[in-house]
A = this chain, B = another copy of it.
Amino acid sequence: MLDEAPRDQLRQGLAQVRELLEKQRLVEGLAHRDRSQRHELVESLVHRQHLSELHTKLSRLHIADVAYILTVLPPDERLLVWRQTGRNRGGDVLLEVPEEVRQWLIEAMEPGELTEVLNQLDAEDLAYIADELPEDALQQRLQSLTLQDRQWLVSTMAYDEDAVGHLMSPDMVTVREDFTLGQVLETLRNLEAMPIHSDKLLVVNGRGILTGVLSLSALLLGSPSGTVAGTMATNVVTFRPEEMAREAAKAFERYDLASAPVVNERGKLLGRLTVDVVMDYIREEQEEKILVRAGLSGGEDLFASVWDSARNRWLWLSINLFTAFLASRVIGLFEGTIAQVVALAALMPIVSGVGGNTGNQTTAIIIRGLALEQIGHTNLWRLARKELAVSLLNGLVWGGVMGLVAYGLYWNPGLGLVMAAAMLLNMLIAGVVGLAVPLGLERWGRDPALGSSVLLTATTDAMGFFIFLGLASLFLL
């Protein structure tokens, strides 16, 4: 029978940790109420016993599960659990928690405590979190590295945070072309361990140039007397350290990779990129995008303070207030018209709102096409014509429907016609803007997934009000 796997342990683990924390809180509560010497002694024993139970429980959990538990606990309990994660696992846990929780932990630790945790990390791990560390703590840790590790760390940190060079690992197994497979098998037996996701060995020549890869399958299935040169594959998917991780992620998906070598422009082997790092990168980028799109600047800790959370949201709210203000001023231009036909005030949010929705549909199609690199010179014009035709059709259909509704509500045929015309025009504008905004942002090197929605809604709101109230001023007064 199989043992208990990490997943099963996690299911019970969180509940047990919470139970222990609950007991802990009770003990602390008691200690506050009764301060007599004898009680305190007993309670401190109970206290220590709970903590050691917690410590034992945590030390049995997988690192990733301890990280998860830390993330979902509110600050006071988070610190208690963190202090019990054990001196020897703090470093690994720190790597595993989300960035916003890591920042919280780093701030919560004493300098000495931080040093101790950082000493558990090797050069690769340090590179991963280096930009989040206090400068002095990082410098102090750098001093204690070997020269080679320090050089590797410094060169890695020089790459952009989103570049392959920042995510690559120095851990890899290399072999020489002139070995036989039998010799390779012998050599491997002398290793203590293989790095994670070693699905292939990297074949290099004397000058460190990558000449091919030997997959473990080929190694295992081949005859021991065959040579590496005769068995290895030479059509290798490689990456440059300065390439964007996003591009690498696409290649990992497209070619079903578990690991891939990173080489410089001369073909020299620099490091290795693995699928776990790529998956983490995709997930983090995706989560961050969802938050940023909703107007939160980057990762917000679930338990950030009210003040921090509020400030984190102000930039977006102030931009939205500003565009709402502009739209409001457009309406302000037509106050005279509204005073004469009050029904306009009730109908105008329909024109602006539905325009925004049509535009957002077009924008979503374009953003996806851009993300998947499916849009280029040759098909752009065709795509634009299609989207505009859809806008026109939608404008005719829904403009017609709402024109009839407006007529039915107010028994005013002119108002119905103005409503229908304004909806048609605003939906056409929404189509054009919904196409132009993401394409423009992409051309200026901005991420179209982030700014498009605000720009689009600002336009469809202001234009919706302007067209509807303008047409009404011309034809209804």
Give the B-binding residues of A (Cβ under 8 A): 1-7, 14, 18, 62, 64-65, 68, 71-74, 185, 188-189, 191-194, 196-199, 210-212, 216-217, 219-223, 234-238, 251-256, 258, 267, 275-276, 279-280, 282-283, 286-287, 290-291, 293-296, 300, 302-304, 306-307, 309-310, 313-314, 316-318, 320-321, 324-325, 327-329, 331-332, 335, 338-339, 342-350, 352-354, 357-358, 360-361, 363-365, 367-369, 371-376, 378-379, 382-383, 386-387, 389-390, 393-394, 397-398, 401-402, 405, 409, 461, 465
Q: Which among B191, B345, B379 is the interface contact of A221 at CB below 8 angstroms?
A: B191
Are A235 and B3 neighbours in the complex by a CB distance under 8 Å? yes
A397: B residues at CB distance < 8 A: 310, 314
CA distance A20 to B215 in the complex (A): 36
CA distance A189 to B303 in the complex (A): 55
CA distance A198 to B218 in the complex (A): 12
CA distance A193 to B220 in the complex (A): 10
Are A357 and B316 neighbours in the complex by a CB distance under 8 Å? yes
Are B345 and A331 neighbours in the complex by a CB distance under 8 Å? yes
CA distance A263 to B313 in the complex (A): 46
- Whether A354 touches B71, Cβ cut-off 8 Å, given contacts A196-B256, A211-B1, A217-B198, is no
Are B309 and A357 neighbours in the complex by a CB distance under 8 Å? no
Are B196 and A235 neighbours in the complex by a CB distance under 8 Å? no
CA distance A375 to B402 in the complex (A): 42
| Nearest opposing residue in chain B for A9, CB measure | B235
Closest chain B CB from A196 CB (angstroms): 6
- Whether A2 touches B234, Cβ cut-off 8 Å, given contacts A306-B390, A342-B339, A374-B72, is yes
Closest chain B CB from A197 CB (angstroms): 6
Q: Which among B65, B237, B338, B365 is the interface contact of A342 at CB below 8 angstroms?
A: B338
A318: B residues at CB distance < 8 A: 398
Listed A/B pairs (15) with beta-carbon separation below 8 Å:
A2-B210, A64-B254, A72-B376, A193-B221, A198-B216, A253-B279, A282-B283, A290-B367, A291-B365, A303-B379, A303-B382, A313-B358, A313-B394, A320-B357, A332-B343
A5-B238, A258-B258, A327-B353 known; 10 new pairs, CB 8 Å cut-off, are: A1-B267, A194-B220, A253-B276, A253-B283, A256-B276, A286-B286, A303-B386, A304-B386, A318-B398, A332-B409
Are A346 and B329 neighbours in the complex by a CB distance under 8 Å? yes
Are A402 and B321 neighbours in the complex by a CB distance under 8 Å? yes
A6: B residues at CB distance < 8 A: 235, 237, 254-255
Are A360 and B256 neighbours in the complex by a CB distance under 8 Å? no
| Nearest opposing residue in chain B for A283, CB measure | B253
| Nearest opposing residue in chain B for A344, CB measure | B345
Are A309 and B386 neighbours in the complex by a CB distance under 8 Å? yes
Are B327 and A349 neighbours in the complex by a CB distance under 8 Å? yes
| Nearest opposing residue in chain B for A385, CB measure | B306
- Whether A383 touches B317, Cβ cut-off 8 Å, given contacts A2-B267, A276-B256, A368-B287, is no
Are A3 and B316 neighbours in the complex by a CB distance under 8 Å? no
